[in-house]
Amino acid sequence: MNQNNENKSIDEKYWHALYVRSRAEKKVFDQLQDKGIESYLPMLTRIKQWSDRKKKVEEPLFRSYVFVRNNERQHYVVLGVYGVVRFVTFEHKPVIVPDKQIIAIKKYLDNPVEDEDDLKNIDLKEGQLVRITNGSMQGLTGRLVSVKSKRRLLVNIDVVGQSIPVSIPRTKVEPIQEKQEVSITYDNN
Protein backbone atom coordinates (compact mmCIF):
# COMPACT_ATOMS: atom_id res chain seq x y z
CA MET A 1 0.00 0.00 0.00
CA ASN A 2 1.18 3.46 -0.79
CA GLN A 3 1.06 5.95 2.07
CA ASN A 4 2.24 8.81 -0.12
CA ASN A 5 -0.92 10.89 -0.49
CA GLU A 6 0.91 14.14 -1.20
CA ASN A 7 1.17 15.31 -4.82
CA LYS A 8 -2.25 14.05 -5.79
CA SER A 9 -5.01 16.04 -7.41
CA ILE A 10 -8.35 16.42 -5.62
CA ASP A 11 -10.09 15.08 -8.77
CA GLU A 12 -7.69 12.21 -9.47
CA LYS A 13 -9.14 8.79 -8.63
CA TYR A 14 -7.25 6.20 -6.60
CA TRP A 15 -8.12 2.82 -5.14
CA HIS A 16 -8.77 2.81 -1.39
CA ALA A 17 -9.83 0.11 1.05
CA LEU A 18 -13.01 0.59 3.05
CA TYR A 19 -13.63 -1.11 6.36
CA VAL A 20 -17.33 -2.06 6.45
CA ARG A 21 -19.72 -3.63 8.94
CA SER A 22 -19.47 -7.38 9.32
CA ARG A 23 -21.39 -9.28 6.63
CA ALA A 24 -22.35 -6.01 4.91
CA GLU A 25 -19.79 -6.22 2.10
CA LYS A 26 -22.27 -7.07 -0.69
CA LYS A 27 -24.78 -4.43 0.41
CA VAL A 28 -22.09 -1.73 0.56
CA PHE A 29 -20.75 -2.80 -2.83
CA ASP A 30 -24.26 -2.63 -4.39
CA GLN A 31 -24.94 0.81 -2.88
CA LEU A 32 -21.62 2.16 -4.17
CA GLN A 33 -22.45 0.82 -7.65
CA ASP A 34 -25.91 2.45 -7.46
CA LYS A 35 -24.23 5.80 -6.68
CA GLY A 36 -21.97 5.39 -9.72
CA ILE A 37 -18.80 4.94 -7.65
CA GLU A 38 -16.36 2.39 -9.00
CA SER A 39 -15.88 -0.35 -6.45
CA TYR A 40 -14.52 -3.87 -6.25
CA LEU A 41 -15.51 -6.72 -3.96
CA PRO A 42 -13.28 -9.76 -4.54
CA MET A 43 -15.38 -12.90 -4.03
CA LEU A 44 -14.44 -16.56 -3.64
CA THR A 45 -16.69 -19.55 -4.24
CA ARG A 46 -16.37 -22.09 -1.46
CA ILE A 47 -18.18 -25.30 -0.68
CA LYS A 48 -19.92 -25.14 2.69
CA GLN A 49 -20.94 -28.31 4.52
CA TRP A 50 -24.09 -28.50 6.58
CA SER A 51 -25.32 -31.60 8.36
CA ASP A 52 -27.70 -32.46 5.52
CA ARG A 53 -26.09 -30.95 2.42
CA LYS A 54 -23.18 -29.23 0.69
CA LYS A 55 -23.61 -25.94 -1.10
CA LYS A 56 -21.44 -23.59 -3.14
CA VAL A 57 -21.38 -20.20 -1.43
CA GLU A 58 -19.82 -16.96 -2.64
CA GLU A 59 -18.10 -15.00 0.10
CA PRO A 60 -15.70 -12.05 0.24
CA LEU A 61 -11.99 -12.78 -0.09
CA PHE A 62 -11.38 -10.12 2.60
CA ARG A 63 -14.09 -10.07 5.23
CA SER A 64 -15.27 -6.56 6.17
CA TYR A 65 -13.38 -4.87 3.30
CA VAL A 66 -14.51 -3.36 0.00
CA PHE A 67 -12.23 -1.55 -2.45
CA VAL A 68 -13.37 1.76 -3.91
CA ARG A 69 -11.86 3.94 -6.63
CA ASN A 70 -12.72 7.53 -5.88
CA ASN A 71 -11.37 11.05 -5.60
CA GLU A 72 -11.24 13.29 -2.55
CA ARG A 73 -14.51 15.00 -3.50
CA GLN A 74 -16.32 11.66 -3.22
CA HIS A 75 -14.95 10.70 0.23
CA TYR A 76 -18.03 11.95 2.10
CA VAL A 77 -20.41 10.32 -0.40
CA VAL A 78 -18.59 7.01 0.16
CA LEU A 79 -18.63 7.43 3.95
CA GLY A 80 -22.38 8.15 3.77
CA VAL A 81 -23.14 4.69 2.39
CA TYR A 82 -24.92 2.58 5.00
CA GLY A 83 -22.54 -0.06 6.32
CA VAL A 84 -19.30 1.82 5.64
CA VAL A 85 -17.36 2.26 8.88
CA ARG A 86 -14.28 4.12 7.64
CA PHE A 87 -11.49 4.29 5.10
CA VAL A 88 -8.36 2.31 5.96
CA THR A 89 -6.01 5.13 6.92
CA PHE A 90 -2.40 5.91 7.69
CA GLU A 91 -1.69 9.10 9.63
CA HIS A 92 -5.38 10.04 9.32
CA LYS A 93 -5.35 9.91 5.49
CA PRO A 94 -6.98 7.20 3.35
CA VAL A 95 -4.35 4.75 2.17
CA ILE A 96 -3.94 4.44 -1.58
CA VAL A 97 -4.00 0.83 -2.77
CA PRO A 98 -1.73 0.53 -5.84
CA ASP A 99 -3.43 -0.49 -9.09
CA LYS A 100 -1.04 -3.45 -9.39
CA GLN A 101 -2.40 -4.95 -6.15
CA ILE A 102 -6.00 -4.71 -7.40
CA ILE A 103 -4.93 -6.25 -10.73
CA ALA A 104 -3.07 -9.04 -8.91
CA ILE A 105 -6.16 -9.88 -6.82
CA LYS A 106 -8.33 -9.98 -9.95
CA LYS A 107 -5.84 -12.22 -11.75
CA TYR A 108 -5.57 -14.50 -8.74
CA LEU A 109 -9.34 -14.92 -8.59
CA ASP A 110 -9.53 -15.51 -12.36
CA ASN A 111 -6.88 -18.24 -12.24
CA PRO A 112 -5.98 -19.23 -8.67
CA VAL A 113 -3.80 -22.19 -9.67
CA GLU A 114 -1.44 -22.15 -12.61
CA ASP A 115 0.52 -25.18 -13.80
CA GLU A 116 4.11 -25.45 -14.84
CA ASP A 117 6.15 -28.64 -15.02
CA ASP A 118 9.67 -27.22 -14.76
CA LEU A 119 11.32 -27.60 -11.41
CA LYS A 120 13.94 -25.25 -9.93
CA ASN A 121 16.53 -26.61 -7.57
CA ILE A 122 16.37 -23.66 -5.17
CA ASP A 123 16.56 -24.35 -1.48
CA LEU A 124 13.54 -22.53 -0.02
CA LYS A 125 12.64 -22.53 3.67
CA GLU A 126 9.31 -21.86 5.36
CA GLY A 127 9.05 -18.25 6.56
CA GLN A 128 11.45 -17.05 3.88
CA LEU A 129 10.65 -13.89 1.89
CA VAL A 130 10.14 -14.65 -1.82
CA ARG A 131 9.39 -12.69 -5.01
CA ILE A 132 7.11 -13.94 -7.77
CA THR A 133 9.19 -13.85 -10.94
CA ASN A 134 6.65 -14.42 -13.69
CA GLY A 135 2.99 -14.99 -14.36
CA SER A 136 0.00 -12.90 -13.41
CA MET A 137 1.47 -11.82 -10.05
CA GLN A 138 4.99 -11.02 -11.25
CA GLY A 139 6.83 -8.62 -8.96
CA LEU A 140 4.76 -9.22 -5.82
CA THR A 141 6.50 -10.42 -2.68
CA GLY A 142 5.32 -12.67 0.09
CA ARG A 143 6.31 -15.19 2.77
CA LEU A 144 6.70 -18.88 2.03
CA VAL A 145 4.18 -20.68 4.23
CA SER A 146 4.80 -24.24 3.13
CA VAL A 147 6.03 -26.52 0.39
CA LYS A 148 2.87 -28.26 -0.83
CA SER A 149 4.58 -30.71 -3.17
CA LYS A 150 7.70 -31.06 -5.29
CA ARG A 151 6.28 -28.47 -7.67
CA ARG A 152 4.00 -26.19 -5.65
CA LEU A 153 4.44 -23.71 -2.82
CA LEU A 154 2.00 -21.87 -0.59
CA VAL A 155 2.97 -18.19 -0.32
CA ASN A 156 1.18 -15.47 1.69
CA ILE A 157 0.88 -12.17 -0.22
CA ASP A 158 0.04 -9.16 2.00
CA VAL A 159 -2.80 -6.91 0.86
CA VAL A 160 -4.67 -4.41 3.07
CA GLY A 161 -3.11 -5.78 6.23
CA GLN A 162 -4.32 -9.30 5.44
CA SER A 163 -2.62 -12.17 3.68
CA ILE A 164 -3.86 -13.99 0.61
CA PRO A 165 -2.58 -17.57 0.51
CA VAL A 166 -1.44 -18.26 -3.05
CA SER A 167 -0.61 -21.70 -4.40
CA ILE A 168 2.13 -21.11 -6.94
CA PRO A 169 4.58 -23.23 -8.95
CA ARG A 170 8.03 -23.41 -7.40
CA THR A 171 9.50 -22.21 -10.71
CA LYS A 172 7.78 -18.84 -10.39
CA VAL A 173 9.46 -17.67 -7.19
CA GLU A 174 12.91 -16.63 -6.12
CA PRO A 175 14.23 -16.05 -2.62
CA ILE A 176 14.78 -12.47 -1.47
CA GLN A 177 17.67 -11.53 0.76
CA GLU A 178 16.11 -9.94 3.83
CA LYS A 179 17.70 -6.82 5.25
CA GLN A 180 19.54 -7.68 8.42
CA GLU A 181 20.00 -5.28 11.28
CA VAL A 182 23.61 -4.59 12.11
CA SER A 183 24.52 -3.84 15.68
CA ILE A 184 27.79 -2.18 16.52
CA THR A 185 29.38 -2.64 19.89
CA TYR A 186 32.31 -0.62 21.14
CA ASP A 187 35.03 -2.00 23.32
CA ASN A 188 36.04 0.55 25.96
CA ASN A 189 39.62 -0.75 26.18
pLDDT tens by residue, the chain, 189 residues: 554 555 567 889 999 999 999 999 999 999 999 999 999 999 988 888 888 888 889 999 899 999 999 999 999 999 999 999 999 999 999 999 999 999 988 988 876 544 433 444 467 888 999 998 887 788 888 999 988 777 788 898 887 777 888 888 888 888 888 765 555 555 565
Which domains, ranges and CATH numbers included, belong to the chain? 14-97 (3.30.70.940), 129-175 (2.30.30.30)
Q: What angle do CA 129, 132, 133 make, to 5 degrees?
A: 125
pTM, entire model: 0.63
Q: What 3-state DSSP class applies to 103?
A: helix
The DSSP annotation for 59-120 comes to EESSTTEEEEEE-GGGHHHHHTSTTEEEE-EETTEEPEEPHHHHHHHHHHHH-S--------
